[in-house]
Amino acid sequence: MGHQTRASGDRLPAWVDADAAEVTGRQPGCCPAGGAAIALAPPPLSPARGAADEGLAHDVTAYVRPDGAGYALALMVEGIHCGGCVAKIERALAEQPDVRRGRVNMTTRRLALAWDGPPSRGGELAALVGRLGYRVAPFDPDQLASADAAEEKRLLRAMAVAGFASGNVMLLSVSVWAGHFQGMAETTRDLLHWFSALIALPALLYAGQPFFRSAWAVLRRGHTNMDVPITLAVILASAMSLHETMTSGPHAYFDSAIMLVFFLLVGRYLDRRARGRARSAAERLLALRATAVTVVDADGTRRHLPADRVAPGSTVLVAAGERIGVDGLVVTGRSDVDTSLLTGESVPRPAGPGDRVFAGAINQSAPLTLTAQATGEDTLLSEIVRLMESAEQNKARFVGLADRISRAYAPAVHLLAAVTFLGWWLWGGAEWQVALLIAVAVLIITCPCALGLAVPAVQVIASGRLMRRGTLLKSATALERLAEIDTVVFDKTGTLTLGRPDWIPDPGVDGESLALAAGMAGASRHPLARALCRAAPDVPVLADVAEVPGRGLSLDTPDGPIRLGSRAWCGAAVDDRDAGPELWLARPGRDPVRFGFLDTVRADAADTIAALKARGLAVELLSGDRAPTVAAVAAQLGIADYAAEVTPDGKVARLTALTEAGKTVLMVGDGLNDAPALAAATVSVSPASAADISQTAADAVFQGDRLHPVVDLIDTARKVDRLVKENFVLALGYNLFTIPIAMAGFVTPLIAAVAMSSSSLVVVGNAMRLAGWRRPG
């Protein structure tokens, strides 16, 4: 029943009637049951055509954002009920030569648009979708939540009316059925039929509006959707029953018509609630944005501004317990910041002067003063949302298959219903009323919506589950490819290790040498220099330190130059016993001093490697580091196949060789430096700090100091693969089983409605198993 959820559907916030120039709860042309308006205070309408004619709520140009060389726009689309709707919209957009991307997510009803051209083109493309019979508006999760609640109330009211009418009409029908076997007079039967008509027809007109208006909206534009056969079935059953009542005939089925609508509304409501639980991870992240930010002016005046109106460079005050609204650097204050919804890390992180914090995080302990660096659509949160939307919108293999099957639905279902009617009437010897009722059951029971939901429902739940665990999918097909891997190749630095070297305290290094080296290191951003600064945080940075690329740092003194850098540059003797990263301090007239560093292996790296082997996967290590260091890490983690001093080209060559040998390879490496190797693998995963997410070239990114998300990704991918295949079997099996039974006359319209609703609920329910699934240890 998933395709029906939005006929009365996921109401968008409120709609502007162009003729009346006022905000109302009514949606011209394609609206569900009317209701109270939800004020949006939208921008002015485009004067070119009325918004009602174009299917637009209001001008969308203000919501267009830059996207590479062009522009992009995220819209909510109302009236999508099946894969055929999705295919129709995407075909129309694909025919536009300047459109780079036009993807509809059936589960979330989000349309992601990207095009080359001026920002005003966004309004034209939205109007194009509107002319197909769908209502569009800029995506706004805050307004959507309240609008969804209002629409659920409207559905409940329609259900109540249909349920009340069904109960009363059914009582009258019982009297007719009983009287049929006891010699009831025709006049009495006709009177009971008229009473049934007086109750059922007004109830049908009100409770059936979610289906009628959606069907009319697409038919008037020359298209069809899932609500067309439903509307046709209800109208045919009601019209036939009214005709029989007016002509004193016995075949009045008002009870079937009103019960049909009642059960369809029940299924639509339940499916709506189920989809609410499977809301997009990107949609949930958007809800993390702070609604207002406190800006402190130069004169100390405080102003409250919307987060997207704060200018970079502004001073922002974040109170304890408040959600941070911008990306920025802490100027004053120390606090604990909860980044769990961004990074998946459950332990709050300390934040003090100089630390970077991100929009969406919660300041827990004490007030912080920030300098805003990025605001609105430029924040990390917005970037993650864009990546999530891209991953959810792009099409996996199974989605394309489902769309192709669903595309043939509309002509096929009407043809089957016509063949059924003619077959029973002309050759089956049935009265035309009985033949029509069987055809109505065929119209209702044929259902492509379960097929259309088979993949998107699982995809959305999987991406949300992984996001909550600190893993971000950047490709829609990543899980599909991860489910098939048989070999995992790791990089070392920053992957198996933390990529954050720490100085190893050495008794041979005196305090004076450490202070001098740390003072010089403060002038460099090199990781080893940063490690020395962490080892002596109170040492001031020395002036006049020059950085010599590829060699190190130099400081001129009256006694001669002091150098901090490589062994060769500092004149230290070669000693093979010294393994691992190092810096040397050379001073005039004194022996060079060695500073050794250790890039710590991730705490769970050994367990992760063991878990991968337990799942039957081959594990390799490719590193550009020196052989002794790589060998030590490989031995520590139990990796038998490893190679050291491998160039980037060498990594690509090894991955290409594995692929040509028939292996399906997962590359886990630094997404900032290993882009060629990541691209050469079947699928790729990178560890990344929050600030680096948008820069990585991998298909998925995990955050934090743990490596186990790699195992979680693989296990989730395999579970998703099983669920998607199960959903396909359920959806295809439903249609292959029920359609012949309905055509054979064994299914009433009422049973067809129940079966149709149940098919989508079963598919969504099967997908929801992933939300509560616990990965094996």
From 455, 452, 453, 473, select the one nearest 464 (Cα to Cα). 473
What angle (nearest 5°) sits at the alpha carbon of residue 127, between those of residues 123 and 133?
155
Report the phi/psi class of residue 41: left, alpha or beta, with left for phi > 0 and alpha for psi in -120 to 50: left
101 three-state secondary structure: strand
β-pairing, 487-490 vs 665-668, is parallel
**Are 90 and 77 within 8 A, CB to CB?**
no
**Sequence-ordered list of residues with C-beta below 8 angstroms from that of 558, at least 6 positions apart, any chain:** none
69 Cβ neighbours under 8 A, 6+ residues apart: 116
- The per-residue b/e assignment along 503-532, b for 16 or more CB within 10 angstroms, e otherwise, is beeeeebeeebbebbbbbbbbbebebbebb
**What does DSSP say about strands 552-557 and 545-548: parallel, antiparallel, or unpaired?**
antiparallel
Side chain identity at residue 163, one-letter code: G
Given the residues 491, 670, 674, 712, select the one marked as catalytic: 491
750, two tokens: 């009422």
Q: Residue with structure tokens 């909860």? A: 338
Question: Cα separations (Å) of 569 from 385, 507, 565, 688?
Answer: 47, 24, 7, 32
d(CA 745, CA 742): 5
Q: How far apart are CA 507 and CA 529, in angstroms?
A: 20
CA separation, residue 36 to residues 10, 33, 514 (Å):
15, 10, 71
Q: Decide: helix, strand or coil at residue 408.
A: coil
Q: How far apart are CA 663 and CA 488, in angstroms?
A: 10
Report the C-alpha gap between 592 and 594 in whole angstroms: 7
Active site residue 705: no
Residue 296 CA to residue 442 CA, distance in Å, equals 66
Please list, in sequence order, all residues whose beta carbon lies within 8 angstroms of the beta carbon of residue 20, skipping any fewer than 6 positions away.
none
* Strands 665-668, 683-687: pairing kind: parallel
- In degrees, to the nearest 5, what angle opens at C-alpha 682 toward C-alphas 678 and 685? 45
Instruction: Confirm if 118 and 91 have CB atoms less than 8 A apart.
Output: no
Residue 351, both tokens: 């934040």
User: Measured between alpha carbons, how far is 92 from 697 in angstroms, rounded to an integer?
Assistant: 31
State how far the Cα of 240 lies from the Cα of 385, in Å rounded to an integer.
52
| Closest CA relative to residue 464, chosen from 298, 284, 600 | 284
Distances in Å between the Cα of 677 and the Cα atoms of 148, 597, 683 are: 45, 27, 10
- Which residues is 615 bridged to in the sheet? none
- Give alpha helix (H) positions in 25-140: 51-54, 83-94, 121-131
Alpha carbon separation from 761 to 11, 208, 480, 758 (Å, rounded): 20, 21, 24, 5
- Cβ–Cβ contacts within 10 Å for residue 260, how many? 31
Stretch (H or E) spanning 709: helix 709-743
- The percent of the chain in helix, strand and coil, each rounded to the nearest 5, is 50, 15, 35
Active site residues: 491
